Amino acid sequence: MNKIKTICCIGAGYVGGPTMSVIADKCPNININIVDKNKERIELWNSSNLKNLPIFEPGLDKIIERCRGKNLTFSTNIEEKISSADMIFISVNTPTKTKGIGAGQASDLKWVESCAREVAKFATGHTIVVEKSTLPVKTAEVIKKILEASQPKTTIQEKTFHVLSNPEFLAEGSAVKDLEEPDRILIGGESNHAIEALSNIYRNWVPAEKILHTNIWSSELSKLTANAFLAQRISSINSISAICESTGADIREVSRAIGLDSRIGSKFLNSGPGFGGSCFKKDILNLVYLAKFFDLPEVANFWEGVVNLNDWHQHRLSKLIIQKLFGTISGKKISIFGFSFKANTNDTRESAAITICKDLLEEGAFISINDPKVTDKQIEKDLEKKSIKNNINYSKKLDFFDLEGEWIFESNIYKSAENSDAVVILTEWEEYSKINWRIISKKMRKPSWIFDARSILNPKDIVDNELLLWRIGDGSNK
């Protein structure tokens, strides 16, 4: 088997972009061409000002600076880049189906299928096709069938393919670190030489013992299972935080106490506003669909419970805010600090902030939203509502009845707090743990509530500044 010289990645998203950039950085002898049908996204990847890259990931801009134009390109030349590649990564989106059979649970594979058709048409010679997207078990079979069907049966085959599964485990916000120092690399497949070719790429920086080889179905299923287990831990800890609030226990103490058990481990035990992100919910629902498909209703119900608990928990927080503000929030101003689904990313997909903000708007609040990386345009899309214009003198206003159900983006947190009845921390951005609460307290309307859904504040800072504090999972909450 010849060495891989040229790779094409279809999909320049949160996975394709960082993953291929790190491979380009670690393998200067391989040409990496990332292609996407979204012209606007590709233009942003090519912007000379690295602040305009479409994805914010710590450290990614430096890698792009080093590799772009050398062995890394971003383009919409899908046909050309497929035809020149020895190896093709499929890294396109696989959202939950919204209509038809399996709607609301099964993955929509239309983009994966269209990639397979493009590869079948444009690839030349022998090509290794790698599933990077997260896919239902047995998808490799579909890809193989599409690739094979494109070949003439009679003549000597001009094109040959091998399909591998190589799921990605990076988490957003720490993508570069996760890619540079992965816990493991998983490669599933049938062809030893294809597996070797891909393993050789990773061996440039990943220790050999961390590169795992499995059969292709185990690889596909392991990805869904890893996400299901991680999400399950969050729903578990969030369910216990509700018990803490009712009993006087404290979730931070409970997390620490159980996390010290080496069988449980301390990671992923932070109670928060509920998990978000583009994948946990969709991957669990995909697992639920698979279980139902294979006539395993108990298994399906077990995993569906993880998603149901998460939905319930997010609405629980909205209800709690309303209840603390005397049961009504209409005509009141609420400041939301943090809109991304976690810190260090501009991604808002499935963010708990979307559910909670929608609930608060529905109840008639005026909300002022701050986030260091998410744009007001993105929030408009997520809330399906335009923001009002920013020329309000908040300090002069006695109430916000004229702004019921409206929202505004506020880049200055201190201005956002002016005349607010509550500040709600939904994302654990580092800057929020450094807020000067003395200044905030002077600006807010009394009684002023601070809801810390991420446990990032020092309670003393809040209460010493005559602010009322509610913390997630805190049994001493008033």
* Nearest residue to 60 via CA among 457, 52, 91: 52
In degrees, to the nearest 5, what angle opens at C-alpha 54 toward C-alphas 49 and 55?
110
The residue among 31 and 93 lying less far from ligand UGA, judged by its C-beta, is 93
CA distance 255 to 472: 12
In the complex, what is the shortest distance from the CB of residue 288 to ligand UGA, in angstroms, rounded to a whole number?
Answer: 16
* Nearest residue to 272 via CA among 434, 467, 428, 468: 428
The residue among 276 and 338 lying less far from ligand NAD, judged by its C-beta, is 276
CA distance 47 to 449: 42
- Residue pair 365/333 in contact (Cβ under 8 Å)? The answer is yes
140 binding ligand NAD? (CB under 6 A): no
Q: Is 27 a catalytic residue?
A: no
Q: φ, ψ for residue 425 (rounded to 5)?
A: -95, 115
The residue among 172 and 461 lying less far from ligand NAD, judged by its C-beta, is 172
16 binding ligand UGA? (CB under 6 A): no
Q: Is 67 a catalytic residue?
A: no
Tell me, rounded to whole angstroms, the distance of Cα 11 from its chain centroid.
16
The residue among 172 and 371 lying less far from ligand UGA, judged by its C-beta, is 172
Interface residue with ligand UGA among 166, 270, 286, 318 (CB under 6 A) is 270
Helices (H), 260-403: 280-293, 297-324, 352-362, 376-383
Question: Out of ligand UGA, ligand NAD, none, which partner does residue 227 contact, by CB within 5 to 8 A per kind?
Answer: ligand UGA
DSSP-derived letter for residue 385 is S
12 binding ligand NAD? (CB under 6 A): yes
In the complex, what is the shortest distance from the CB of residue 202 to ligand NAD, in angstroms, rounded to a whole number?
Answer: 16
Interface residue with ligand NAD among 4, 9, 16, 473 (CB under 6 A) is 16
Active site residue: 81, 223, 282, 333, which one?
223
Near ligand NAD in 165-204, by CB under 6 A: 168, 170, 172
In degrees, to the nearest 5, what angle opens at C-alpha 347 toward C-alphas 344 and 349?
140
CA distance 348 to 91: 19
Q: Is 168 a catalytic residue?
A: yes
286 binding ligand UGA? (CB under 6 A): no
In the complex, what is the shortest distance from the CB of residue 191 to ligand NAD, in angstroms, rounded to a whole number?
Answer: 23
Residues near ligand UGA (CB under 6 A): 134, 168-172, 227, 230, 234, 268-270, 272, 275-277, 279-280, 341-342
Which residues are catalytically annotated?
Answer: 168, 223, 279
